[in-house]
Structures are given as C-alpha cells and as structure tokens.
Structure 1
Amino acid sequence: MSEEKARVRDILRARKDAMAPEERAIKSGYIARHLMLLIAEGETVMVFTSKEKEVNTRPLIEALFEQKNPVVVPIIQKEDVSLRLSYLREMGALVPSTFGVPEPIGNEIPAKPQDVDVIILPMLGFDRAGGRIGYGAGYYDRFLEKNPDLTKIGVAFGCQEMETLPVDENDIKMDLIVTEDGIVYDGR
C-alpha cells in the first residue's frame, strides 16, 4: 500500500506543480467563495495556512475575519507528530515555520479542539467517495482520530482528483470536498 501511495503522491504533486501561479490564485478565490457558503456565521473554523503551491487559504481566512468567524490555525509539532492549535486574529501574525508552513509562532493564542466546529484540510489528492490523501506524515489523520465530531472539509484543485485512492484504515474520510467547481463530494 505504501508503494502505491508514494506513486499516487508523485502523480498528484506533479499535477499540482504544473499549475501556473495565476491559475492557482484564481481557483483559490473560487474555492474560498464556495467555502464561505458552507460556513455559518459564528462557527469557529480551523483552517490550514497554505504553502506556495497549495490552495491559497488567505482569501478564505480574510473572508472569515470579515464575517467575524473565529479562526483557528494548526501549528505543526514534529516531536510527537501532532498539531497544536492557536487562534489567528491577523494575517501579520504568521511566519514561515515547520516545512515552510506559515504559523503564528510568537503570537500564539491557545485554542482547544473542542472550540472548533469546522476544519478545512489540505489534500494532495481526493476521490469522489470522500477519500483524502495527504502529504504522508499523518498529522491531520491523527488529529481527526482524536476529534471525530468536527465537520471535515477537504479542499483541493480539480486536477488533484483521482478515480480511486489507495486509502487505508488510518485515512479519515471527508464530510465534504470542495474544489474550484464547488462541492464535489457531500457525505454529510
């Protein structure tokens, strides 16, 4: 299974990397708009802070700020392969950290998983059965295993879709998957 996952990850990485920055920016804006239709006013949203070639979450985070939704972001803890949570009040609090991921290091406002209603997750790939494949470290799968009651929304570009993914029992299924085309999977 791990060889197959590695092969699929290579394919998906190449597809994502082939996108032009302008195309990524436009499609990220569409994704943010689709997501804002799914998030109720007042819901606390945990959202990943994107790296360069991922769905850009900046437009989403700014829209959440505007709508006065509390925003929580993950902080990667390599030591125990877990996520620590912090509220985010302004984009300026983010600095490149572990794996180049922007995190509010030095500006943390501790949050608890119980504070979160909806989680927006990065995906390297997805299928139309709610399957998600991440980057391989399992940070989000471990977090979701301990916090199963959150509404899980995976975001990706349409080019990251696979007909089927090599998922196993540790891979947590999404409740919703959103691309630039809107909701492509709704398992609620």
Structure 2
Amino acid sequence: MRDKSALRRALLRQRRETDPAERRAIDRAITERVLQSEPYRHSRTLFVYYSVAEEIDTHAILSDALNSGKRVCLPKCLPGGVMQPRYITSEEDLTEESYGIPEPGAHCPAAELTDIDLCLIPALACTAQGFRLGYGGGFYDRFLPRTPAYRMVLCA
C-alpha cells in the first residue's frame, strides 16, 4: 500500500508542476475527445465528476451536457464511503461539502444507477486494460461495480 501512496504523491506533484498552458491544452484535447465520442453523443444520462485543482477539467463537458438536454448527475459523498449519483439541472445546484469538492445539494434527487449511460471517472493514472489509480478514497472502486454504465477514465 505504501507504494501506491508514494506513486500518488509523485503523480500529484508532477501534475502540479506541469506548465499551466500545457495542462489547458491537455484538458481541451480530452474534452474534445469525450464530446466527439460515440458513447457521449448517444448518452442520455451522464455521471460526471466536478473537477477541482489539477484534475482533468470537466467543466466544458458538464456545460455541454446540460445545454444539450442530457440528464446530468454528479457524485454526492455519503457516510460510510458511499457515493450516490444525484441529478443537477445547473451548476447552481452544487454546494461545497465533502472534501471541499462541489457536489449536488440535498434538494437534488438521486439517480437510478441503471439509468446512467456513461460515467466519466477521474484517475491519477491508468493502464490500457482499464485499471485505474485514483486518489485513494476508494469511492469509485465501490461505486463502479454497482452501475452497468459505459465508463471513460479521464487521465493524463
């Protein structure tokens, strides 16, 4: 486990040290790839994280999904390490709660896991086989087996 922690620290340091212009270019390229992808174009209900700090920026994807009439849900962290998808209709539905990350407010309805077509998942690193290294909380590791949705891991 110590090796994963050291790898996480090194990857986070590398992200922080990446030139901001290069990071913006990477974010734009990933955003375009997602927006042009068949899974995104055909999805009706999108589960997406709200990016913070050096994470791959999802704000343009979130905006596109809301403006194009997709149903959008974001994670709400509940006690016991459970992540619950909740619908939002605009970014105004978000409040800063768990871990200082904006998430759906208490008024936002829960989404049925089977209604989600596409999950956009953050990662520090991933393999071509789809194995991901997250931030260490295990939230997505517990969440993903519960939904049959197509998954796209956003990583650079």
User: TM exceeds 0.5?
Assistant: yes
- Evaluate the alpha carbon distance shift between residue 95 and residue 24 of structure 1 in structure 2; reply closer, same or farther with a 3 A threshold: farther
Instruction: Write the letter of the residue equivalent to 1:69.
Output: K
Q: Secondary structure at the match of 2:54?
A: coil
Q: Unaligned 5+ residue runs, structure 1?
A: 158-188
Deviation at 1:42, TM superposition (A): 4.7
For 1:1-188, what aligned pairs fall within 5 Å after superposition?
A: 2-38=1-37, 39-77=40-78, 79-147=79-147, 149-157=148-156
Q: Secondary structure at the match of 1:73?
A: strand
TM-score by length of 2: 0.90
Whether the 8 Å CA contact 1:73–1:103 is kept in 2: the answer is yes
Deviation at 1:25, TM superposition (A): 3.0
Q: Which has the higher helix share?
A: 2
Deviation at 1:69, TM superposition (A): 1.4
Give me the whole-angstrom Cα distance separating, in 1, the residues matched to 2:129 and 2:42: 28
Give me the whole-angstrom Cα distance separating, in 2, the residues matched to 1:111 and 1:129: 28
Whether the 8 Å CA contact 1:41–1:69 is kept in 2: the answer is no
Q: In the comparison of the two structures, how many residue pairs are matched?
A: 154
Deviation at 1:40, TM superposition (A): 2.5
Give me the whole-angstrom Cα distance separating, in 2, the residues matched to 1:41 and 1:139: 26
Instruction: Write the letter of the residue equivalent to 2:15.
Output: K
Aligned CA RMSD, in angstroms, stands at: 1.6
TM-score by length of 1: 0.75
- Say which is worse superposed, 121-130 or 133-142, in terms of deviation: 121-130
Identity of aligned residues (%): 23
Give me the whole-angstrom Cα distance separating, in 2, the residues matched to 1:122 and 1:32: 13
Q: Secondary structure at the match of 1:30?
A: helix
Give me the whole-angstrom Cα distance separating, in 2, the residues matched to 1:93 and 1:21: 29
Whether the 8 Å CA contact 2:47–2:120 is kept in 1: the answer is yes
Deviation at 1:118, TM superposition (A): 0.7
Deviation at 1:24, TM superposition (A): 2.8
Whether the 8 Å CA contact 2:95–2:104 is kept in 1: the answer is yes
Whether the 8 Å CA contact 2:44–2:71 is kept in 1: the answer is yes
